[in-house]
Structure 1
Amino acid sequence: MNEDMQQIFEQIKGVIAAFGMFPQKGRVIVGLSGGADSMALTHFLIYHTDQTVLAAHVNHGLRGKDANRDEETVRLWCQENRIPLRVLHADVKRLAQERGMGLEECGREVRYAFFRELANLETDRIATAHTLSDQVETVLLHLTRGAGLRGLSGIPPVRGKIVRPFLRITREQVEAYCQFYRLPYVTDQTNEERIFARNRIRLDVVPVLESINPAFVQGIAGMVERISRDEQYLQEEAEQALRRAKTDYGYRRDILAGLPMPVLVRALEHVIQCVGGVQPESQHLEHAAVVVRTGHGGLSTPGGIQLVVQGNTLFVAQRPVSPWTLPAQEGTIPLPDGRCVTLRKIHKKDIENQNKFKNLLFHNCINYDTITTTLFFRNRRAGDHFRPAGRGVTKSLKKLFNEAKIEPLLRDRVLLLDDGKEIVWMEGFGPSEHARVPNHAEQVLLITVTNAKEDSESQILRVNDIRKERVDHGQ
């Protein structure tokens, strides 16, 4: 093996080891398009690692005979080398029209959905053949859009199950690898078409920058590594701050307001993504940071996410919340807001023997002896009324929420248990007068609400808890 090939091997194995890309068990699903990059990666994984490899090829149906040529090249080579292969035929043009997406974006979505379907075990990995040349082009594209540290971090070596072992070698080195091992590969003719921004960067921009600095590509590689470390540190700081600030119903504003701006905007971004699953724009994050630091106002972001500061609490919620209903049955039930509710029948002897059940009777239990219809959980509806046990009055939920000073953004989150005729239990308020637990009850139904990520039971959010938090935090 010559010196150039030895360097290529060291660079590939170095990135695999540095990021622990492959577990000891499991398969590697390698995206095999038929191009030089993917052919070299598949060959490397088969002949120079101990991994179990499954090749995956997607025929997008976009380039007619060329697409069929690519598929045939892949099939023949895999057959000759006894490499297991899975092929997906997809009409990406039609799918893109149906989904309102661009061809490139839709093609990427189809490919990765196929790869994820094949990588169905926890220890499976998806290997793609992105190179250092791809990294440089990506960073320059992001730069033209005014990217921050995350955008300038480029393509990550590892993202979930996706690994990219070739990120430290260039496209030229890949072609040298193919030539050394006499690997066949196909060339996409569209790579020379300047109508695509990435092609213009590769054909026109990179050569100019390399004429200024011949080590430009290696310089970008070093920059990406340094920026990625900084970005990871800031993200970890933001996540730690959120854990300190988290309450049962929002986030402590005083903790968030004291964060440095780079950490604060990342913390707010994380919260918005968790609540709504959307990527907020930088202008919304900057505005949200001002709201937190000043303690006044609020804002709405794309995806229907609302942020409001009341006293010392930042409330974040997605509105409007669609009406939902779930059948209530014994066991643990996932809720639409990410929490879980657990129902458990308890008999009289257990209540008498264990004090903890006695302490939970008022707020967390209903009299199961009186339940004769099917129960279901739901969120509030217009016109809802409730008759809390021991109060002697029936009031609208709106009045009860106002009296308890429950913030508007929290009201859609309050869990209700309905028997088809009335609300028999309400989170934070306890059972209805009809469903209250008398001394002679033979069996009761214990209701426990937990956060999805909690391992142990947590107490249901009560109005008194909210009031106590406000006193403790100086609201």
Structure 2
Amino acid sequence: MLDKVAETIKRYKMLADGERVCVALSGGADSVSLLYAMKELGYDVFAAHVNHNLRGEQSDRDERFCVDLCRKLGVKLFTDSVDVKGYCEKNRTSLEEGARALRYEALRSHLDGCKLCTAHNLNDCFETTLFNLIRGSGLSGLAGIPAMRDDIVRPLIEVTRSEIEQFLSERNQDYVTDSTNLEDNCSRNIIRLNVMPELERINPSLLKNYKRTMHILLCADEYLSDAAEKMLDKAFDGSAYALDVCGDEAVLNEMILKILRREKIEPSFERVDAIKKLAACGGVINIKKDVYVVCNEGKISFENRSEGSKARDFCIKTDLTAPVFTNCHEIEFTRISQFHISDYNKRELKYLIDPDKLSGDVFVRSYCGNEKIRLLGKGFSQTVKKLLASTPPSRRKDVIVMADEHGALYVQGFGVDERAACGESTVSAIRPDIK
């Protein structure tokens, strides 16, 4: 195992010979073997242990074990105690996320410019890949746990758990076991305890083969990440991003993921797709609470809008095919190619548009002043403002109006102007679906 760790450190250029490093020490087999390995390889090692206070006496037992181990090995140890439950209640986050945030904050407080060694191994990496595959993930998630990130290095990333246990057995070194890791009550534990043994029964070379796949995925992810980073540098003008929706889709997806992370927004497939549609069509979407993404002339920017400022004017050109996004809505256009007026009742006809009756460019916009519309079946014209009299003033600017060069032709909730309505001569129809 020692040779494999040394080779991993060299391959990824993790550390210089004899460099000072901090080992994140939990007391489990992985971190204990990492501490031994780094010390035996000649690095200037110290350790840090974080007590999460989540498992009562077991948490205190783990801390005592780490203190005794470091005293035995002559390694300096820093210990921290954190209130995970209190943090999670205050920040409304899960125990796992809260523990991770506090753990890394505590560990980094001791680094003083040196790198942090964590004990993630090849089994952990495979479990992460499988977990991400099950819940849905991009390339970086399928590549597993990176060998290095920022100030964190993972020298055991190509070592299996069985190799770790053998390494400790050869040194007659014990370790503590987190009893929660043996409970079959969460996704990762199910993968570790039930799924992996079955997969290894099917193919005993599972982890060996996975390691090759992991390298391929990591190389591809690194290449894609670098390409996207270079494109972002060119695309960003200091306030907005110019996205080429006709360019390479893989690079575009990675660019959007990076943009979301820069804006401190959790990436997701849904958010990436929404921004791609926005960049293609223009408009505004609400991406997160009070955060809006605005696309103007092919450039997207992010705005933080308070509750009182969400309703604002918008005007978006549409070809009546691609979806349109506004402050609060997504509008899709359903085309009825073989239209027969006899197939529809009066209520349904109110919400259908004859595209052949439109003039010039068509826009989706907020209502304007005292513009008028002659709704189908009414027989008289009235202002859009009067139509919206029962709508709260703060929400009126969110109401969708469609217009061509002759003015308003459709109002959300009220229907189509009779001049753009379908009739006996209509060949095809458009139905705006507003969500």
**TM-score normalised over the length of structure 2:** 0.67
Out of 193-202 and 313-322, give the one that drifted further: 313-322
Asked if residue 308 in structure 1 is aligned to residue 294 in structure 2, the reply is yes
Match of 2:21 among 11, 25, 28: 28
Please report how far the alpha carbon of residue 221 of structure 1 lies from its aligned counterpart in structure 2 after TM superposition.
1.8
Match of 2:84 among 85, 92, 108: 92
Q: Which residue does 2:251 correspond to in 1?
A: 263
Q: Which residue does 1:282 correspond to in 2?
A: 269
Q: Secondary structure of the residue that 1:43 maps to in structure 2?
A: helix
Residues 278, 81 of structure 1: CA spacing in aligned structure 2 closer, same or farther, 3 A cutoff? same
Please report how far the alpha carbon of residue 113 of structure 1 lies from its aligned counterpart in structure 2 after TM superposition.
0.6
1:297-330 Cα shifts (integer Å, max 9, x gaps): 232312644333323x4031231279xxxxxxxx
| Structure 2 counterparts to residues 48-447 of structure 1, below 5 A | 48-49=41-42, 51-121=43-113, 124-253=114-243, 256-274=244-262, 276-292=263-279, 294-302=280-288, 304-311=290-297, 313-320=298-305
For structure 2, the residue ranges without an aligned partner over 5 or more in a row are 308-435
1:344-373 Cα shifts (integer Å, max 9, x gaps): xxxxxxxxxxxxxxxxxxxxxxxxxxxxxx
Please report how far the alpha carbon of residue 258 of structure 1 lies from its aligned counterpart in structure 2 after TM superposition.
3.6
Asked if residue 18 in structure 1 is aligned to residue 4 in structure 2, the reply is no
Please report how far the alpha carbon of residue 25 of structure 1 lies from its aligned counterpart in structure 2 after TM superposition.
7.7
Q: Which residue does 1:333 correspond to in 2?
A: none
Q: Secondary structure of the residue that 1:257 maps to in structure 2?
A: coil
Residues 199, 97 of structure 1: CA spacing in aligned structure 2 closer, same or farther, 3 A cutoff? same
CA distance in 2, matches of 1:306, 1:36: 47
1:363-421 Cα shifts (integer Å, max 9, x gaps): xxxxxxxxxxxxxxxxxxxxxxxxxxxxxxxxxxxxxxxxxxxxxxxxxxxxxxxxxxx
Please report how far the alpha carbon of residue 295 of structure 1 lies from its aligned counterpart in structure 2 after TM superposition.
4.5
Question: Partner amino acid for 1:310?
Answer: N
Residues 75, 291 of structure 1: CA spacing in aligned structure 2 closer, same or farther, 3 A cutoff? same
Q: Which residue does 2:380 correspond to in 1?
A: none
Question: Partner amino acid for 1:225?
Answer: H
Report percent identity of matched pairs.
31
Please report how far the alpha carbon of residue 252 of structure 1 lies from its aligned counterpart in structure 2 after TM superposition.
3.6
For structure 1, the residue ranges without an aligned partner over 5 or more in a row are 1-7, 323-475
Please report how far the alpha carbon of residue 267 of structure 1 lies from its aligned counterpart in structure 2 after TM superposition.
1.3
CA distance in 2, matches of 1:66, 1:249: 51
1:288/1:298 contact within 8 Å kept: no
Q: Which residue does 1:427 correspond to in 2?
A: none
Q: Which residue does 2:364 correspond to in 1?
A: none
